Chains A and B, each alone.
Chain A
Amino acid sequence: MGLEQFKNRNVGQQNYVMLDLEHTPETGMGKFRQVVRRTFKAELFVGLWVTMREMINALFKGQMHTVKYPFEKLPISPRYRAIHEMLRLLESGHYRCIGCGLCEKICISNCITMDTRYDENQRKEVSEYTINFGRCIFCGYCAEVCPELAIVHGPRYETASEQRASFSLFEDMLTPIDKLNLQQEYDGFGAVTPNADENIKKTPLAY
């Protein structure tokens, strides 16, 4: 499907159709004629056909709308800001965070707590890193400020848990080392949804 009709913003030149709303009849004869006309116009059968058509579409043309939620999920936008993830370097598998502390500084709800120290090679390592998800407002500043693309927002929006500590330790957010090849790079702010082309018809410009 082309996008021309959606790019046409000249609202006044689109094909609006005036609905043919008849006046309410006032005389008895007029009412009678209206009843007879409506009875034999077979509009009720149009309604029946519409539902039957939808049933045929759903059953035989694969237009079933149902998403069996816990088993199937709709793709979410890469801009979505869910629970954070800490990414690893693809080559070495080491975590990307360099302990610069920018995220801790910028966090507007003061929920990132981190500590660093020198390891045996006199390199800076992260000794402690937690996010208090009771305070986090998922503003995304931490991910935006991070110079190493180390802290990002993941797609995991199902955050029901017995305690919020289940998400908030460094080890919980870090990509598991055996899943390194599955690590998803964060598309970043301003990225479009994978199925953006299908959704574009829902913009109000189409009407």
Chain B
Amino acid sequence: MEVVTYTNVETFVQHLPEVTAAGVWIKAIIILAIISAVAGFGTYLERKVLAFMQRRLGPMHVGPYGLLQIIADGIKLFTKEDIVPQNANRLIFMVAPVITAATAFIALAAVPVFPDFTIPEWIPVLGGTFVPSIAADLNIGILFVLGMMAAGLYGPLLAGMAQANKWGIIGAARTAVQFLSYEVVTGLSILAPIMLVGSLSFVDFNEAQAGGISHWLIWQQPVAFVLFLIAGFAETNRTPFDLLEHEAEVVSGYATEYSGMRWGMFFIGEYANMITISIIAAIVFLGGYSEEGIGWLTIILKVGFFFFLMLWVRAAWPHVRPDQLMWLCWKVLMPIAVINVVITGIVMMV
């Protein structure tokens, strides 16, 4: 198994142009710009889809079909007063949203987004630079991304504790609860596919499933797929696991005292995480992208499907209580994940 993957990587690397620092810089800027824009567009999509599912129209009046609502919201977020509550710990209060947004984007560094391309020669200065599809093609990509997203949980945790507000404290406590519960499931559920492929690199995952739909890992690992989806919902703080800021119970949880751009950073971080989880699920379980033809369109469709699924679930399902979340993670999902790993191991050995 491992020997095969190794040669795969070798041939894959050989026919690629050299990755330069300039290329990585350009890629980083592209990711930042496009993912921020897509995250903004995601809020629009979320409002629209939720509205349709409740037979409403959603935003309609700013621009055609309310499309410019994103810009109006952006202007509002940027120009709002930046309030720091009186008894809050100023430094931590101000740094916490940056942690969420930064870790979300750092995680995207190791994820393949958009095809690689070479800037045409006629463009001055940067002409001929090769822009890779992954900003940092780590050989432990999955580990890095999951670790970064887990580190992002420090954002809500610190924000909730720093703001001298009881709802914030409850939000922070719930962050810790959720963090402890699902992180185990995320790791264990993705362990089985990692064992099958024998690598932690996204490129290897993609290569391993290159032979069409029947080669997708979801057919070999349906249980791991479902577990990973559930854990992914918890990881991105989406309904039914949106304990951290559930309005009906804790006002806005860790974000109660935040306004303006700091609140906006939490928001962008959450949407960037949604996109990251969608990309991981698409690459690890649904075959990822392929280099030729309409390959990149297919992964955009897959990512779009997962994104839509998150909105769909939010419209349909109620959220769970914190104790139910812990019960679910520790008593149901974790045993299933362990059994899945063991069975996968036995099947691989036989």
Contact = CB atoms under 8 A, between A and B. Distances in A.
Interface of A: 35, 44, 47-48, 50-52, 54-55, 57-59, 63-66, 68
Contacts of A48: 312-313, 316-317
Nearest to A53: B53
Interface in B35-63: 49, 52-57, 60
Contact of B312 (A51, A58, A64, A65): A51
Interface string B274-316: 0000000000000000000000000000000000000011011
Secondary structure at chain B's binding surface: helix, strand, loop or mixed?
helix
Nearest to B52: A55
A52 B312 contact: yes
B307 to A, nearest CB: 15
A66 B316 contact: no
A57 B52 CA distance: 9
8 tightest A-B CB contacts, nearest first:
A58-B55, A66-B57, A47-B316, A51-B316, A51-B53, A51-B315, A55-B52, A65-B55
A65 B52 CA distance: 10
Nearest to B313: A48
Contacts of A50: 316
Contact of A64 (B49, B55, B332): B55
Given A35-B332, A48-B312, A64-B57, A59 B52 contact: yes
29 contacts: A35-B332, A44-B316, A44-B317, A47-B316, A47-B317, A48-B313, A48-B316, A48-B317, A50-B316, A51-B53, A51-B312, A51-B315, A51-B316, A52-B53, A54-B52, A54-B53, A55-B52, A55-B53, A57-B55, A58-B52, A58-B53, A58-B56, A63-B55, A64-B56, A65-B55, A66-B56, A66-B57, A68-B57, A68-B60
Nearest to A66: B57
Interface residues of B, number: 14
Interface of B: 49, 52-57, 60, 312-313, 315-317, 332
Contacts of B55: 54-55, 57-58, 63-66
A44 to B, nearest CB: 7
Contacts of A54: 52-55
A48 B52 CA distance: 14
Contacts of B316: 44, 47-48, 50-51
Nearest to A64: B55
Contacts of A65: 55-56
Contacts of A44: 316-317
Contacts of B56: 58, 64-66
A52 B317 CA distance: 12
A51 B53 CA distance: 5
B245 to A, nearest CB: 22
Contacts of A55: 49, 52-53, 55
Contacts of A58: 52-53, 55-56
Nearest to B54: A54
Nearest to B332: A35
Nearest to B58: A66
Contacts of A57: 55
Contacts of B52: 54-55, 58-59
A51 B149 CA distance: 30
A66 B312 CA distance: 20
A29 to B, nearest CB: 15
B302 to A, nearest CB: 18
Nearest to A50: B316
B316 to A, nearest CB: 4
A50 B318 CA distance: 14
Nearest to A45: B316
